[in-house]
Structure 1
Amino acid sequence: MNNSRRNFIKQTGLAAASITLLPYLGCAETAKIKKFGIQLYSLRNEITSGIEKVIGEVAKAGYNYVEGYGYSEKTGFFGLKPQAYKDLLDKNNLTTPSAHYDFGDWEKSQDDSILKSYIDAAKILDQKYIVVPYTNPDIFKDETACRAYIAKLNRASKIVKDAGLKLAYHNHDLEFFDLKGKTGFSILLEESDPELLDLELDLYWVMRAKQDPIQLFKDHPGRFTMWHVKDMSKTNNLKNTEVGNGTIDFTTIFKNAKLSGLKYPFVEQENFEIDPYQSITKSASYLSKLIK
């Protein structure tokens, strides 16, 4: 998600290391991933013509669950109140384990009624995660601002945890700015409680920031319970392509799913060169073969 995406959401209401890892790996043996979802931002242009058709096409393409975005108390999800949105998903045999909720206003105001509205919606939808999708990139250019922001996230994560849910943070590349040998992402991982905050790792943005996702898994096993499975075009790294059609080695990355702590992989594609429904179907076909 970049600045234009944030604006769109606003507008729509919208060896030694192995010793450390062994205990976690033992617990993760049963965590075989057999299902996958899609972040509905991929189909934001199609949603303007009606969410019902989009959800039907997502189910037809082979996805098991969806991740929404852009919720507000006034407009709900895509014009549907949470219960109506859940009913639509139920009708299409889909679930929604998480959604992206805008934290911009909360970060500025610290008004916890905003969090409460998100928690209320998430519970109606039987969601497990409330995801912070984006923040002001200037925060991650200054270590003091970064640490202050993380302190706010820690407070939010405790509120969400006390409500029986869990907060997660979704990255872009902005979290990897150099801060005198550290990055905002490393500070976030170090200064947040694994019991309270999970990470939704956007693999495209990690690779675009020239980071190694597998090294992140090794350094912080179990923290990355959700992924955005988004491929990078072979001809233009600013563009996406169908999963399996680009430059990212998902085969190797998925072999480390247990180490990551992965529970929910979501396909996401922010731009298309072919029909979007054909594209998401190709991505689903590739992913279903990869994880079977």
Structure 2
Amino acid sequence: MTKSSRRAFLGTSLGLAAAVGTALPASAGQRRRIPRGGIGMHLYTMRDVLAKDFAGTVEQLAEIGYATVGVSGRHGYGAADIRRMLDTVGLRAVLEHVAYQTLTGSGLPQALEDLHTLGAKWPVVPSLPGSMHSPAGYREAAREFNRIGAASREAGLGPVLFHNHDGDHDVLDGENLYDILVRETDPHLVAFELDVYWASKGGADPAAYFVRHRRRFPALHVKDMAPDGGFADVGSGTLDFAAMFDDAQAGGVKQWLVEHDIPKDPFATARNSYEYLAALRY
């Protein structure tokens, strides 16, 4: 697809979205918008189609309009292979999810080298082992995150990020587990990829985190919640993204990465979610 035809495709897509009433926020028409270079796809959403055709999948994401991706699973390819496929279609990897056990063990140097190969900035811990689900466990994780973050910075990368689920917002023995990580990590070494769906599911207010802990949230997982509490394409569910993102600048958000854990049609989810975020004003 040529650049001119891609622009025409995107213009047509967004025009059709408006014509059929794709969900626009109540604050549409206000000045602020998500930079196009900040709208990405977390590739876990596309895992089924990536396993069948990695190159074709990332090509279609680029044609939809995505600028960046978060890598989650290699599907048998090396970091250099993935970089070549992304470069071919003009996509940029910004982060990669790497298991906690890998980053705390002997796999850390290779993981950081792979990030350089991918052209990405942030290693991301996708979750903590269940055995660490206690205030003591999260304090141990905070110490480990500081160590990993120092190694990442020394390697010329960004801070290590932590990706949350709902249970990370539990209050145990009077302490909020997620807040332990925020308080007891060095902001220069550790930051957060806030999954706004799981934060909301866990009873947290993402916007409040942006204000209370400024510039700690360079990346988001933008995932919507269906009325029954399940997953929904971005813009079709119950989360008020316009209100949520009003303080995103204070939180330091650079990347808005779309995610849907169990999409029926990954490409439809990708299109619907991109069109909503590209049209969003807040």
- Per the TM alignment, residue 180 of structure 1 is displaced from its structure 2 partner at its CA by 2.3
- Matching residue within 51, 65, 71 for 1:68: 71
Once residues 223 and 131 of structure 1 are traced to their aligned partners in structure 2, the CA distance between those partners, rounded to angstroms, is 14
How far off its partner does 1:99 sit? 1.1
Question: What displacement does 1:49 show?
Answer: 1.0
Partner Cα separation in structure 1 for residue 141 and residue 276 of structure 2: 38
Contact 1:33 1:291 in 2 (8 A): no
In the alignment, which residue of structure 2 is the partner of 1:9? none
CA RMSD in angstroms comes to 1.8
Structure 2 CA distance for aligned equivalents of residues 105 and 64 of structure 1: 28
Identity of aligned residues (%): 29
Q: Secondary structure at the match of 2:269?
A: helix
* C-alpha separation in 1, matches of 2:212 and 2:33: 19
SS in 2 for 1:48: helix
Partner of 2:84: 87
State the Cα distance separating 1:215 from its structure 2 match: 1.1
**After the TM superposition, which parts of structure 1 deviate over 3 Å for at least 4 consecutive aligned residues?**
30-34
Measure how far apart 1:249 and its partner are: 0.4
In structure 2, C-alpha distance between the alignment counterparts of 1:161 and 1:100, rounded to whole Å: 17
List runs of 5+ in structure 2 lacking aligned partners.
1-31
Pair 1:213-2:206 in alignment: yes
In 2: Cα distance, 1:249 partner to 1:281 partner? 19
Paired with 1:250 and 1:195, the residues of 2 have a C-alpha distance of 27
Q: How does 1:105-144 map to 2 (within 5 A)?
A: 105-107=102-104, 110-111=105-106, 114-140=107-133, 142-144=134-136
Equivalents in 1 of 2:129, 2:156: separation in Å?
A: 28
> Which amino acid in 1 is paired with 2:200?
M
**Are the counterparts in 1 of residues 70 and 257 from structure 2 also a CA contact under 8 Å?**
yes
In structure 2, the partner of 1:148 is 140
In the alignment, which residue of structure 1 is the partner of 2:273? 283
Contact 1:34 1:291 in 2 (8 A): no
For 1:224, what is the secondary structure of its paired residue?
coil
- Distance in 2 separating the partners of 1:38 and 1:223: 20
Query: How far apart are residue 291 of structure 1 and its match?
Result: 5.3
Deviations along 1:144-173, one digit per CA (max 9) or x if unpaired, are: 222122211111111111111121111111
Letter aligned with residue 104 of structure 1: Q
For residues 278 and 95 of structure 1, what CA distance do their matches in structure 2 show? Answer: 21
Aligned length: 249
8 Å Cα contact 2:207/2:245 also seen in 1: no
2:240 corresponds in structure 1 to 249
**Which residue number corresponds to residue 188 of structure 2?**
195
Q: 1:269 aligns with which of 240, 247, 260?
A: 260
User: Does the aligned pair in 2 maintain the 1:31–1:258 contact within 8 Å?
Assistant: no
Distance 1:31 1:130, change over 3 A: farther
Asked if the contact 1:98/1:131 (under 8 Å) is kept, the reply is: yes
Report how far residue 33 of structure 1 moved: 3.2
Residue number among 155, 158, 174 corresponding to 1:163 in the alignment: 155
Shift of 1:43: 1.0
Q: Is the 8 A contact 1:31 1:263 kept in 2?
A: no
- 1:31-82 deviation line (CA, Å, top 9, x unaligned): 9733210001001111221211211121122111111113xxxxxx222222
1:173 is aligned, of 163, 166, 175, to: 166
2: distance between equivalents of 1:31 and 1:284? Answer: 13
Alpha-carbon separation, structure 2, partners of 1:32 and 1:269? 19
Structure 2 counterpart of 1:41: 44
Give distance in 1, aligned partners of 2:130 and 2:36: 35
- In 2, Cα distance between equivalents of 1:291 and 1:61: 19
Deviation at 1:127, TM superposition (A): 1.0
- Residue 198 of structure 1 aligns with an amino acid whose one-letter code is A
Contact 2:62–2:91 (8 Å) recurs in 1: yes
